[in-house]
Structure formats: C-alpha cells, structure tokens
Amino acid sequence: MFSIAKKVFGIAAVATVSAGMAFGAATCVAGAAPVVGFIPLEQTNALLPQFQITCSGGVTTDRVTIQAFISPALPVTGKVVSSSAGTQEAVATTNAAATLPAGVVTDEGILGVVSGSTITFSNIALLSGSTTITISNVRVNPSSLSAGSGIPPSISISAFVSGPGAVPAAISATTMAYAQNGLGSVKSYKNGTINLASGVLTSPVSGASNFTVCNKTGPVNTTPTGSVAMVIQVNENYAQGFRKGGQASQVTSYLKATVATALSNAPTTADRLRITFNNVPAGVSLLVPKSVPAQTGSSAALTGATTADASNAALTSVGTTVAPAAVAYSADVAAVSLTSGTGSVIYDLSTEDLAAIDQFNIPVFVNFSSNGATASATPMTATVSYAQVGTTQIPNFVVGTSTTALTGSLFNSCTTSLLFPFVTNQLGFDTGMAISNTSSDPFGTSGATAQAGTCSLNFYGSGAPTPANVTTPNVPTGTVYTQVLSGVAAGFQGYVIAQCTFQYAHGFAFITNGVGVNGGLSQGYLAGVIPDVNQKSRGADPLSAAGAGSGETLGN
C-alpha cells in the first residue's frame, strides 16, 4: 500500500513540475518575412537580410537560446569581435531592452558565436507577452556557389529555439536571398560617341583599335589621331549589385555589456571595380578618365588618381577610330601604372542609384611616340572584376565567374614591302638585288627616325627555294644590303616581295647575262614600294594608296 501511494505521489509530483515548466514558457515561431533579394556571388562577406522570430507567452525572467543554421552550409564571414570567444558582428536584438525591470541586464544586443555555418545567440531576455527577436548583420561567403543558367541558388536560415524560458521549437528554413553575379557582362568597343553628362555610348562598333608603332599617337584633340584603344563597357547584373560605402548595413551600431565601445557593421569602403591590363608593349602608355558617369545617375571615381597628363586637360568627347578626339569625364585623365606590360586601375563607386542597373563606358587611350613602342603579335587584354581582396575588408571580393578577358589592341610593327617584279637565275642570267635602309637622312626633326631590321625575301615563280622565303641579316640604318639571286635562290625565275621590318626601305635590281668583257644584255630597275599593309590594305592602285599617306612608291 505504501509503495503504491509513493508511486502515485511521485507521478503527481512529476505532473506538478511539468505543469510548472509549461506555465509561462514562451512559444516561438517565425516572425515577419525577410525582404528577399540578391547578394553577389563574388563577395566573400555578403550581407543577408534580417531574420525575425516572435515569442509569446513568456515572462520577464525567461531566457532563450537561438541557433541559426545557414543553408547551404556557407561560411559565416562577418567582422570578428572576439576570436577567442568566436563572436562576430552578427547580433540578436529584441524589443525588450527598454522595458525590462530594474536589475535585469539591458544589453542592446547579444553577439553570435559562430561555428562554421551555425550562429548561436545565448541568454536572450524576453518580455511578458510578446517579444520580437531580430537577427542582423549576418554575412556569408557565397563564392563557392554557381549561378548556372537557371534559377539562382537560394540561401536560407532555419533556427532552433531552446532554453528554460521557451518551449523547444524548430523554425523552418526561410529563404533570405538568391546568389547572383553582381558584375554583369563586360564588352569592348573600338569606337562610338559617349555623352559626357549621361555616360551613354551611341553607335558602338565591337572590338578594339589596332595601332602601328611607327605612328605617333596620343589622347589629344588634334593630330595624331587614333588614340582610343577601346571603350570598356561594364554592366551591373542587377540593381544593388554595386553599392557605395554605407549602403549595405543593417544595425549600424550596438553595444554589448562585455564590449567597451560601440561596434559598427557599416562597410569600410564602397564597392570597387578593377580593370587589369596585360600584354601592353614596352613604350606604350595607357590613360583612363579620372571619373565616369553611369547612365542611371551613379558614378565611379578613380582611386588614388593624383597625377595626370596635364596636356589632356581640354579633352572633350569620343569620336571614331579614324579621327577620334579623346574623352575626359572629369576634365582629366590619369596614367595606368604598368610593370612588365601589366597594370590595373580601380574605380570607387562614389554615387550609386540602388533602383537602377548601372552601365559604365570607360574609354582607354594609348600614348606613344613614333617608333617608340615595341611591336607585339599578342594583343593587349583587359579584365574587369570587383577590386577588394583581403579577409578583413568589408566588402571583400574574389575574382568571380562573371569576369571576362577582353581582347584589346594589337601593336603592329611598321614595315616596308618592296616588289621586285622580275628576277631570274636561269639560261645564264643572274639578278643582283640591293635594299637600302634610308631611315638616316639630313632632314632633322622633319626627317625619318633611324631604324634597323631584317627583310624577308618571298619568292613566287619557277624554282622557288624551300622554304620559299629567306631572311636577310640585320640592315642597319644608312646601309645597303646586296645579294645576287644565285646566292639565295639558284635556278629561280619569277618575282620577289621583300618585307622589311623598318620604314624607308628602297630597292634596286640589276639583271645581266654574264659579267665582264664577255657580258651580254643587262637591265636595271627600281623596286616598287607596296604601302604598309599593317596600316592600309593593299589596293589595286598603289599611287592613290600612297597619296593617301599610307606608303611611298617608286617605279610601278
């Protein structure tokens, strides 16, 4: 009888305790839905919207713990508050602090302890009645995700509420954001007209301008022409893909009782765009505007642009590649610092229209003196990406999948091509050939620039050697290269085109049937000059082509 009574009283006691625990315990459910948007895939610390939980039925002495789980399991990458405690800037705030009774700690926020993709907020105070808990300043690294071609990957938060002040509750996963490339397409145009006020590019032609290194060029409104190498068009992929400083914060300051000073999650810089150039030949300078407008009212300013080419202060607009004027959005341009053909510039998002998709059209100018640049068969390239790279930097970016390498200008060597219309080493005849490098002359600053190079002799006709081209030794300025046909192409008869890697080459040929007292018939002629095909396609009428300034011609 006693044992039975003991069991009954025991059961009653358990029931009484259980009833006491249930009485006054808060019930927590998902709060207001977040404002779902995009976060950039390229950012390593992208800010998620605020996540809310609503608890009701509690009392002022109740405390709860919330574990927030990021899905997929992305690293949580906010500002570190205490590395030893594992706390980051992620904070849980409530509407309870101002109304808690005397003697209760009135922390304005509980900092989250981060472990991988989980954030734990402990000892959150509740109110009697209803309490709204808001989790803010959660930053994640979505750069491991892929946007693909379909629906962008989603990022969600689920939660578990526990503690002596709450009925244990699982909060279902709530979609917080979609990860998408913030940087959209990048394109290259070789000409067009840019509106200096709106930044709009009209009548663009795809590609990039090519240059010949013997022609002086530079970003000036008078001759020489052709200074616009390319116009780089940078597109924002979605509104708010670009932000200026301060536009990506939620709780801008809060105070934890264990922290002596206020903390802030405001970004330390604006978003930045980096343009990186590669394969720029020696002797070539690149210049870009100090600031550029977007067609939406946004703008970007070159960071660290303290020097510029003073001769370009009056630049006004972009024209065509035939006779382009240069451009300056902010009255001046700045030189790109190059090392071994590589250099970059960074544009800071100085103003930003968050309601529109931005487009920036950035002209790139080249500047070099006649024969002062090294020719290159490899084109210059330009790559556009977000700029910051540093784990403590907010915002911080990696080079994302939206970055595309643009093929830029070629810098061709200036050449002279000579036509020897008939040469022979058959039936007892031989042909003497002479090529003069006349780039030394008495005309001073109005004369030629001294050059040197080789000539490739290309044979077309009967008995051509194998291979059908022969390269001469170097021909210094002011000297003459001579050769007989029997010495380079014995038994050949046809014509020869000599391609010389210097300007102002001229040729002479002399055909003879034997030499000395027994010599027979002989004939000499001047080689024709084919206009430089790096500058102008070979036309059927060499005289008119030469008259247009694309080369010299002597003879036919």
Which residue positions in the chain have pLDDT lower than 50?
A: 1-23, 98-107, 221-224, 258-260, 305-330, 544-552, 555-556
479 and 495 part of one domain: yes
Domain count, the chain: 3
Residue 541: the pLDDT is 57
Residue 256 inside a domain? The answer is no
Whether the CB-CB separation of 46 and 39 falls below 8 Å is answered with yes
238 and 381 part of one domain: yes
93 and 222 part of one domain: no
Residue 160 inside a domain? The answer is yes
35 and 174 part of one domain: yes
Residue 82: the pLDDT is 84
Residue 293 inside a domain? The answer is yes
Residue 99: the pLDDT is 46
440, two tokens: 């030394």
Residue 556 inside a domain? The answer is no
Residue 3: the pLDDT is 40
346, two tokens: 């960074």
Residue 1 inside a domain? The answer is no
Q: Which of 378, 412, 446 is the last residue of a domain?
A: 412
319 and 194 part of one domain: yes
CATH number of the domain residue 463 falls in: 2.60.290
Whether the CB-CB separation of 341 and 279 falls below 8 Å is answered with yes
Structural domain span for residue 288: 183-250+266-412
CATH number of the domain residue 124 falls in: 2.60.40.1510
Helix and strand counts by DSSP (H, E) for the chain: 3, 36
31 and 124 part of one domain: yes
232 and 149 part of one domain: no
Residue 401 inside a domain? The answer is yes
Residue 177: which of 46, 44, 31 has the closest Cα? 46
286 and 434 part of one domain: no
Residue 358 inside a domain? The answer is yes
Residue 537: the pLDDT is 64
The bridge status of strand 522-526 relative to strand 505-513 is antiparallel
Q: Which of 149, 180, 211 is the last residue of a domain?
A: 180
197 and 298 part of one domain: yes
Residue 262: the pLDDT is 60
Residue 346: which of 402, 404, 406, 271 has the closest Cα? 271
Residue 310: the pLDDT is 35
220 and 134 part of one domain: no
Q: Which of 354, 388, 412 is the last residue of a domain?
A: 412
Residue 467 inside a domain? The answer is yes
68 and 145 part of one domain: yes
> Which amino acid makes up residue 45?
N
340 and 483 part of one domain: no
Whether the CB-CB separation of 336 and 287 falls below 8 Å is answered with yes
Put simply, whether the predicted model's pTM sits higher than 0.85 gets the answer no
- Residues near 47 by Cβ (< 8 Å), separated by ≥ 6? 39, 137, 138, 139, 248, 249, 250, 265
